[in-house]
Structure 1
Amino acid sequence: MSMSAVFAETVKVSWAAEPYPPFTSPNASGEWGGWEVDFMNAICAKANLDCVITPVAWDGLIPALTSKKIDVIISSMTISDERLKTIDFSDKYYSLRPAIVGLKDIKLDATPEGLKGKVLGLQVSSVHQRYAQKHFGDAVADIKEYQTLDEAQQDLAAGRIDAIQADAFALNSFLKAPAGACCELKGDVAKDEAILGHGIGVGLRKGDTALKEKINAAIVAIRADGTYETITKTYFDFDIYGD
């Protein structure tokens, strides 16, 4: 064992215990993989952190962080003004691109007028939930909430709802899968930074300044040395970091 490994700081890292491909998902043996898992491994190595993985249900991540059951959230969590009241974040490590995906045989688009009378599905406790309630709540017939994006996608494929709102990068994975043959991208939603936030960041407890600085430095380093680009090309054929 190297001396650096001996003196590595141990941190408990968590992501949502539900599959969220291509960012995090378990294989048949229960081992987690995906873009965010590879990103986490690169960050932990660069920052000399001994990262212990503890998956937690999506809506339990922030309570687990604030109660010190975990130290870090790496789970495609948006840096939103609402969340910043409770926790802190690293600099962004990829951009959020909220979009609407719907059934191919139903005409709709990502506007209140285009969704009028439709049933829209989304993940509970997400920025998409708050956005849809504000912008589409008076137009749609119903907003159906799901514990996981996967459950929403299953109902969409079965025709039980008309559309879903989620991050386009995750929806792209669904559309490429056999289950997504039912559906197509209907468009990106209009910007609302107050709700949709400032990109995706690593969640941290307020006051964990030293850990935040280590993680921010590691993000800069893996982008500079090509590691970030190499990881991204494994899962995407387009840029996800943005401006």
Structure 2
Amino acid sequence: MQRTLIPAIALSIASLGGTAQAAEPLQIGISAEPYPPFTYTSSEGEWTGFEVELGMAICEAMEAECEIKPTGWSGIIPSLKAGRIDMIMNSMSITKARQKVIDFTDPYYFTPGAYVAADDQELSLPEGLDGLILGVQSATTNATYARRALRDTGVDIRLYDQAEQVNRDLLSGRLDVILADKIAMNELVERDEAEGFEIKSTAPHHEAYGEGVGIGIRKADDDLEANLNAAIEKVQQDGTCTRLSESYFGTDVCTD
């Protein structure tokens, strides 16, 4: 897996086809809690990952200066609405509930939720969840799906603030199974400490998962939305998104 560090790109043009002007850098909000391989810090303390690299490529396509701004996941939408960040690029699925308070760009990647448990555990889904303890990160589409689709299965659903807390409690035996983004789970089961764990199944299509993952923006930022959509289209058509996806995940998640 490629682990390339990306500094903030400093360019002088603020919009597609615009003229040179002095402009404040656009602040790309990501969760302050690492979410590898999408966003994480290197041993040097620099933010990197699939979405960090892709975000900077999108900014380069817009000819805009951008900076990464870590923000607590639970407060990331309020930070966007308050103007402390200009966009959210952190595996945020486009859902009807979120569209009531913010807007989204076109999707830039697609991935289902996945169940992970010990490889010697027999697990039929969803009926086999009865009596088990399932961990999921709160304020995510997986948490919404668990509440809506699994609450009658007899499973004990436990919510966590951070994805790594869920992972640690699974590996330490405090959870029987977890539900999280499949790409992140592919990375988890490859870790040395996750030997003996595997992806059991993916969640079925459900309205809780929305229409893919997009960049969250304020409802009034129509020009930014148009520029971002044009830049997303460019990095998808020129192969940048696919190259980064295959580098980090070994597969192309940039198209549905």
Tell me whether the two structures share a fold, i.e. TM-score over 0.5.
yes
TM-superposed deviation, 1:69? 1.1
**Pairing partner for 2:161 from 143, 147, 167:** 147
**Structure 1 4/205 Cα, relative in aligned 2: closer, same or farther at 3 Å?**
closer
Q: What is the Cα deviation at residue 37 of structure 1?
A: 0.6
Q: Is the 8 A contact 1:78 1:96 kept in 2?
A: no
Unaligned stretches of 5+ in structure 1? none
Q: Which amino acid aligns with 1:108?
A: L
Contact 2:241 2:254 in 1 (8 A): no
Deviation at 1:67, TM superposition (A): 1.1
| 1:94-138 CA distance string (max 9 Å, x none) | 003111111222211332x02111100000111111110111112
In the alignment, what sits opposite 2:133?
A: 119
2:209 corresponding residue in structure 1:
196
- Mapping of residues 60-209 of structure 1, within 5 Å: 60-111=75-126, 113-193=127-207, 195-209=208-222
Q: Which residue identity lines up with residue 18 of structure 1 in the other structure?
A: E
Off by >4 Å, runs of 4+ in structure 1? none
Asked if the contact 2:13–2:64 (Cα under 8 Å) also holds between the matched residues in 1, the reply is no
Which residue is equivalent to 2:31?
A: 16
* Alpha-carbon offset, residue 219 of structure 1: 0.6
User: Against the structure 1 CA distance between its residues 25 and 107, is the aligned structure 2 distance closer, same or farther, given a 3 Å change threshold?
Assistant: same
Aligned sequence identity (%): 37
Q: Is 1:42 matched with 2:57?
A: yes
What are structure 2's unaligned runs of at least 5 residues? 1-9, 15-19
Paired positions, count: 241
Q: Distance in 1 between matches of 2:12 and 2:159?
A: 49
What is the identity, as a one-letter code, of the residue corresponding to 2:204?
A
Secondary structure of the corresponding residue to residue 96 of structure 1: coil
Residue 175 of structure 1 contacts residue 184 of structure 1 at CA under 8 Å; is this kept in 2? yes
Instruction: Please report the TM-score for the alignment, with normalisation by the length of structure 1.
Output: 0.94
| Distance in 2 between residues matched to 1:51 and 1:66, nearest whole Å | 18
TM-score computed with the length of structure 2 as normaliser: 0.89
Question: Once superposed, what is the RMSD of the aligned Cα atoms?
Answer: 1.6
Give SS of 1:49's match.
coil
Q: How far apart, in 2, do the equivalents of 1:3 and 1:213 lie? A: 19
The residue type equivalent to 2:75 in the other structure is G
